Amino acid sequence: MILEKIESDFSSMTVRSDATSWRAAVREITSLLMASREFRLRKLRVLVNRDCVDDIDPSIHASFRGNPLLEIGHFDERGGRGGDTDAGEICRRDDLVIVRSRVDGRKYRIEARGSGRCPGVVSSLAGILTCLLGFPGYMAFGARFCVYELLSNIVEYGMSGGEGGWITVTLDVRGETLTIRVRDPFREFNPVINKEFDLVRYLDSGMTRGLGLMMIQKMDHRMSYSRREGFNETIISRVSAGDSAMEREDAMSSFTVSGPQMKDGLVHRVVLSGELDAKGALVLEQAMSPLIGMKTVNVVLEFGSVTFVSSAGVGMLLGLVSSIRREGGEIVLREVSPEVRSVFSLLNLDDFFSLADAAGNRTHA
């Protein structure tokens, strides 16, 4: 997908999908809806190829077209893609500029004035752009998390409480690797933490600085830092290992999802089985797409048969739970194994997820 325009007040956004089938387009739109929840958009306009193959159930069409947030339009491939020649500045404000490369449509640059508001806005944009660049929802959450933590440290420690100066965040794709570059003119600050970092001792100390940066490195991201000509530059890269090939059949994953099914007219029950790894995260994201954006929806994820959760799976769960809670709902993870709980504890998420035993009694990670 390609970002065509964002209104300066972030009330609406226009994107173009180059998907050749509606099945692929629905996956892209679902990921984008999850990634853009922070912006509280009033309108998301999606332009779909008029010749897109219609390979989905009519009820899904009805669901998407009935969504008050979405406006589905069309463009004609034969008549040109419309917008490519106008690439460049997508949004301009006094404190923010978003640019898409005229040469390479898979490269975006965000220029933001350093301020307390900067980390939240720019990180949300980074998550949206990651989705638009073709990566799945869990990677969009990871990109947002990384950019938020880096910019928060720049604002809090590099700027020392002052304001002024501009921070540049660039997102670039080469093959299946997403690279994020963060450049700032403030005082020297190296975010790369020693690999021998002792998480348990750190948590026991009651410190808060650096925990988010440690989590970035725990989530399989490669991070490097350099200081040149008065600028800090931090580079984070993540290889999707083929996960961005969203046309791939879900059956290739060892992870399965049954549901969601309504239980007692109140709760949506979803049964999970297998390894919630990168491929499994895609399967879960697709299965949960009908519930995204619904008001006050309550969900129970049955984890009794989940044998493994990777950082990619955790990223997917974080994005999913955040989206549901933002609309007044809740997700409960039931019968989570000790092994999976240990992963949550490693990332200091003990209090974030709502866990329950087989009887439905709330527990702690």
Q: What is the pLDDT of residues 328-348, one digit of tens each?
A: 888 999 999 887 887 777 566
Q: By C-alpha distance, which of 287, 289, 358, 350 is closest to 314? A: 350
Q: How far apart are CA 98 and CA 37, in angstroms?
A: 19
Structure-token pair, residue 134: 């073709």
- Token pair for 111: 């220029």
State yes or no: pLDDT of 298 exceeds 60.
Answer: yes
By C-alpha distance, which of 89, 171, 78 is closest to 128?
171
Cα within 13 Å of Cα(55), Cβ side? 13
Amino acid identity, position 40? R
Mean pLDDT of the 50-71 span: 76
Kindly give, in sequence order, each residue whose CB lies less than 8 Å from that of residue 17, ignoring residues fewer than 6 positions away.
1, 25, 28, 29, 46, 47, 48, 49
Q: Give dist(CA 173, CA 133) in Å, integer.
A: 7
Contact 299, 330 (CB under 8 A): yes
Cα 223 to Cα 93, 145, 169, 226, distances in angstroms: 30, 14, 14, 11
Residue 175 CB contacts under 8 Å (≥ 6 apart), including other chains: none
User: Checking DSSP bridges between strand 267-276 and strand 256-263, what pairing results, if any?
Assistant: antiparallel
pLDDT at res. 98: 95
Q: What is the pLDDT of residue 83?
A: 41
Q: Using N-to-C axis directions, what is the helix angle for 278-288 and 22-35, rounded to 10°? A: 90
What is the mean predicted confidence (pLDDT) over 307-327?
79
Can you say whether residue 161 is alpha, beta or left, with left for phi > 0 and alpha for psi between -120 and 50 degrees?
Answer: left
pLDDT of amino acid 51: 83
Peptide linkage before 58 cis (omega within 30 of 0): no
Predicted pLDDT at 231: 93
Write down the pLDDT at residue 172: 92
Which pLDDT band holds residue 205 (cuts at 50, 70, 90)?
A: low
Question: For residue 261, is pLDDT > 60?
Answer: yes
Percent of the chain scored above 70 by pLDDT? 77
Q: Specify the pLDDT at position 182.
A: 95
Phi, psi (degrees; rounded to nearest 5) at 97: -135, 135
For β-strands 231-239 and 222-228, DSSP reports them as antiparallel
Contact (Cβ atoms closer than 8 angstroms) between residue 35 and residue 135: no
Q: Residue ranges of the domains in the chain? A: 1-82, 87-246, 250-363
**What number is the average pLDDT over the span 257-285?**
81
Pick 5 or 201 by higher pLDDT.
5
CATH of 87-246, one of 1.10.8.100, 3.30.565.10, 3.30.70.260, 3.40.50.300: 3.30.565.10
Is 92's pLDDT higher than 90?
Answer: yes
Taking 90 as the threshold, does the pLDDT of residue 232 lie above it?
yes
Question: Which residue's entry shows tokens 């020693």?
Answer: 194
Percent of the chain with pLDDT over 90: 17
Question: Of residues 252 and 15, which shows the higher confidence score?
Answer: 15
The DSSP call for residue 165 is S
Domain 250-363 has CATH 3.30.930.10: no
Instruction: List, in order, residues 6 or more apart from 217 with CB less than 8 Å away.
Output: 192, 193, 195, 223
The answer on pLDDT for 317 being more than 60 is: yes
Alpha-carbon gap, residue 20 to 22, rounded angstroms: 7
Residue type for position 340 = V
Residue 237: is its pLDDT beyond 80?
yes
CB 223 within 8 A of CB 233: no
- Is residue 250 over pLDDT 70? no
